[in-house]
Structure 1
Amino acid sequence: MIAYKKPEKLTCYTIAISYASLGGMWTFFSDSLFAVLLNQPENSHKSVALSHWLFIAFSAILLYWLLRFWDVAISYSQESLREANRALRSISECTKAITRITDEQELMKEICRIFVKVGGYRCAWVGFAEQDEDKTLRPVAYWGFEDNFIDNMQATWADSERGRGPAGTTIRTGKTTVFQNFKTNPDYLPWRDAALRSGYESGISLPLREAGEVFGALVIFADEVNAFDPEEIVRMEELADDLSYGIKTIRMNDEREHALEERMLLAAAIEQASNGVLTFDRDGIIQYMNSSYEGICGAAAEDSVGKSIHSFECCLRNRSFYESIKMAIDTGMVQSGHFDNERSDGNRYVVHARISPVRGATGSVSRYVVIVRDVTNETQLQRQLRQAQKLEAIATLSGGIAHDFNNILAVIITNTEMTLEDIPDDDPLKKSLEIVLKAGFRGKDLVKQILTLSRRTEQEKQPVQIANIVEECFNLLRASLPTTIEVKKWVANDVGEIAADPTQIHQVVMNLCTNAADAMRENGGSLGVVLEEVELDEDACKSYPGLEPGEYIELQVSDTGHGMDRETMERIFDPFYSTKTQGKGTGLGLSVVHGIIKGYEGAITVDSVPDRGTIFSVLFPKLKEKLNIIPQRVVNFEHQGNERILFVDDEEDYVRGKAKMLSRMGYSVTPQTDSRKCLELFRANPNDFDLVITDQTMPNMTGEALARELLAIRPDLPIILCSGSSPETDPALRPENAQSIGIREVLLKPVGKDEMNDAIRRQLNAQVIEMPRGEYAKYSYHR
């Protein structure tokens, strides 16, 4: 509003009086003056007409009003000029603030300051509409307020008593709201007294918009009523629009900077991510490749970016991967899967890849993103887990059939041995019976190998210098291999020892080397054996489930033969699986090797490429401490005896055969097929027997339970537990369990005549035979 300045009436009045006085003087003295000047004295006394005086008075009054109008016009023009200058300065200051300030809060505060300091108003503030249940009006910036009026007003933009103020009405209606007099406006009643105490007489609220929606209001208070004329309101609306634009621009810039930061962060994360990322446009031109993709694929980004995906070396080497990329391009659909790939150096690796089209705002594909994850170790671990699960199932199955199969073999071997003793050497049947006996012992060895697949019991261990075994096997192989196979060996200096059975380690080395040689018999090649010490940390152990960080001895056996595909590699440790021709293998070799290595808490892995070769890697824990080994003392026993033996087994044929065999060796045998009757017989005459031989798995009462009852009656009784089961399936056969009961010795069926007699004599001769079994040196365990 323009404040009009009152004209200076005294000045206009003085000029009019002066004009009238001069006119009167002129009227009175003009004739005399002209008479003197014209030398006409007769004209000096003419009378002055009344009209002259009226003219002078009227012209004086007219002059006064003209001067007054002129003074008012000048004052109004000056005030208008001042108002225009103030408005222009306000607009200029606001424009500068909008272009200069990049912080939203700072901009709103500066605009409020300009309205107060430059515009001359009492107070200015900005409020935002909260989208809460109460529709709260939140002040966010202000300047010039008194007595915390803005903070305490508790205004809303709801259609309620506290929402009908200037700001609430503007936000709710989207229009400019003017209260020219707070004292008389009923809608301002909730804040009237506080406003008047603060010197606020009138106010205006201007909407702040973004995308057509009102998000807040700019409110200005004046210290006089009727302070906002139409022209002022128009200028204020323009400034409010400029402020809205400035806020919108700052928010857009903030969003743009935030998006840029997120993109930079995302780019940094992608660059540092373990997953490989590659992008190419719809024309197939590679645009980006992160370092992880370089490491996984083996291709350099500087050589790949800018080239066509169709000539990309990783695609050319991996046909199935390339076909999936082509499928994604042709169909516009996401493609994913596992792919066996090969690097430029020939190393194989497995990735899980996802090829995704990226669509623009119009829905058309603008580029493609390929994300690959190296799952080589994961695939190997899954393969090892499946293998372990299969072997676990096979071990359970084998343990279940071993008892019955061993009982059958025991009957065959026992009766065959006795029949061979009964017939003369020139009998035609002797040769056939020897073949039967040999087949029986082969069956025994086969069952033993099956039970070795997933052995969980403690192995008989001693310090083994594996380098010596490798040397021995190497010399055996060199003499038997054709000249087309080149043999190479590298053994590191001072390779340590492992705790193992040397016979089994010999079996592992020979099996792996023999398989490697068999893979090259047709076309020749190179067989390599490497032995060295390695140290595995926690990261390295992730590739070998079950291994703990520490020192290991690694045996590598490699060949350049026909290699294996994935399907074959997944089955090579399966029992009875073989790639050899009929009659050249049982399919148990690698299964037994796997069981032996696992029994020594080691690990075995295989890497193979078809038509290139295979590498088997075996890890054995390095022996850190000396084993407490008691030297074995060999004792030769006579094959005859005369003691009394109580023999019990639920297999009638087996009992009949063993009783006859023991009787031939001079023993007095009391055979039984019922464990309960055996216990009753012993309880009636406990001193009539020198030794008890019992089966483990029997109806009504197991051998373990029978042994407890017998020992309760006679604690010094020697008992031999003879079973067709294995320690893997029956815990009672384990050394620590059997010893805790008081059982002297465990024999696993089938048991030959000499093995049975040796066990009997060890117990009946009442000698403590020192066996190399560590803390169980007084306990005999034979299989």
Structure 2
Amino acid sequence: MARDSDRLYRDIARNFPNGAVLLFDRELRITLAEGQGLAAAGFTRTDLEGKTVHEVLPPLSVALLEPAYRAALEGRPSTLEAPYRDRLYSIQFTPVLDEEGAIAGGMVVAQDVTPQKRAERVRVAFSELGMRLSAARTPEGAARIIVQAAQDLIGWDSCSVDLYLPERGTVQAILSMDSFDGPPVDVPHAYLEGPPGGMTLKVLQHGAQLILREGAPPRAAEGLIPFGSDRPSASLMFVPVRHGERVAGILSIQSYTPNAYTRGDLATLQALADHCGGALERLRVEEALRESQAQLARTEAFSLVMAAHLGLDGRWLKVPPTLCRFLGYSEQELLALRERDVSHPDDVENDLRQQIRLAQNEARSYDLEKRYLRRDGTAAWTYLNCSIVQDTAGRPLYFLAYLRDITDRKSLEDQLRQAQKMEAVGQLAGGIAHDFNNLLTAIIGNAEMLLAEMGSLDPRRMDVSEINRAAHRAATLTRQLLAFSRKQVLQPRIVSLNEIVADLSAMLRRIIGEDIELRLDLDADLGQVLADAGQLEQVITNLAVNARDAMPQGGTLTLRTANVAAEDVPAGDPEAPPLLGPLVVVSVADTGTGMDERTQARLFEPFFTTKELGRGTGLGLATVYGIVRQSGGHIRVRTQLHQGSTFSVYLPRVEGAAGGESEIGADADAAPGTETVLVVEDEEAVRALARRVLASRGYRVLEAGSAADALTLAAEAREPIDLLLTDVVMPGMGGPALAERLARGRPGL
């Protein structure tokens, strides 16, 4: 009987996932050790069975656990959490009775709860991180908060944080620390500011990097930052610190221990970096503003303030050479003009009102920030101080104006506001689209299930088909919103832009109409790019449609490709991602109406459109913007009113041959399944749809509303689980971490 009992215990315990089951006698000798988590803890059955707890556990573990073993032998069950190696276990101790009901020994059930605890620790850390970052006043202060959070969540021996400065195309070291086998201390930067290279360049171009190695080559081979120690790092993680559509910096943590980090750790570090990107970018711009203002204050006393005389009729009476150079006119040209002739139309009224107050002796002087229009049509901001000069009788003679150029400061302020606005709009659009997409998945899936069950003559079929079509149209809008917010799932592969353009040309000719000529100018030696071919087709199509609408009277649409170097690309938006290394450009040029400055300023905002009501959603260019940025590229626009527009998309050039199309497809007549599928989805409607579809094909379905529920379900399931179908982003633990956790306990999954 005892032998049968032991066999039963062993059969049950053998499949215990992510932990182990032990039986022990009254001498604390282990009589049975089973479970799929034994190997993860560094044990085999033979290491444990027949030995006492004192023989197999280190002294510290014995001191912590022996009271619980003894309590079980006295009939008192207990549960505690204890660390072992680098894992955390929840351990239950219960008494085991013999056939007469006496306590013969005890049972230990140890469950690895490291992922759950880590997820909870991440959640708590992130909730506290936002408040701590809001109190930071400098990028270095934010960097210290970020690396401390990385230390708490993952751990490191050395770390660094760099700022990326897109307007200069450089990276700036702001914090480097090393433990030196003791508490972390600051170490001198390997550089203060310079062009990105090595691993920094790789992260800017391709995203997060995880490096695990036994023996490190010299650091110079990969451009790694020396943190003050001669020891080579064995485990390294580099992630971009992203703020909306741009890279704000690079975070790196390193360990001298081999295999110290996992892909799960890399995902955690990237989530941490993304959580902090907005604060780091805000502080960077604020510090740049402070530096600009301080520089202005330092040089103000020594700089030439532009002093000019204005007649009471507003004509220039006396102008200094500095003002002539500032506005781009000769002295004779400027003296022939009135001030309002070179003022921005929106600023004329306020300036004139203030001058009238001076002339009527209602004020002694006034100060304002106003815009002047240079000869080339660009606007220049000035700080204007104006007073009136009177004769001895108190009659006004002329205005005395002191002007100072503040264009750079206003540009920085606009950059900060635009960064905040685009980030807020992107987060809002992405959040709405993600939630709405879950609802549409349920609507479309159930509609298609109904259509499959209906006969061709069913009177309800037309109504259900219309529901399905409308839901698909709505899904297209959500995909565009996800593309703008950079949350669309891309499937990048090496592709040829020439092939994409050539394949699209026939369709584009039908779209643009017969009154527009389509010209192709393709570089025969064009390099390849790493991108999602379908998304690039959408980019080119959207730009072509936009060009068509700008040529209502017909014209020429030119698609051009070329290889270019980053240094040959004209300077553009400081919010742009890095333009580094060899590039490939595809441009869409039209001979249409062009755009004014106001339209250009809002060009990529979602829902902004200049088309009449009903002729556009305002998402076409916003979608282009999101896809290009998510693909690691940048879009530049060159346009002039009544002279057409050119949109140029720059993407990093890669080596290798273009890949073929994936041949994965659904077979409507596939044989029904018999396997067990675990479906994990926090949206109930989507989960119910997945269950219904899989069950209709013969699969046995287990379902869970969260990763925690899925782990519990898998631990309790006695039958094998053949397939995991999970949502990627869920509260607590995400899909990839869940898959990794379940695969360890169920090798056949």
TM-score normalised over the length of structure 1: 0.47
Larger of the two Rg values belongs to structure: 1
Bigger share in helix: 1
- Which one has a larger percent strand, Structure 1 or Structure 2? 2
**Greater RCO structure (CA 8 Å; 6+ sep):** 2
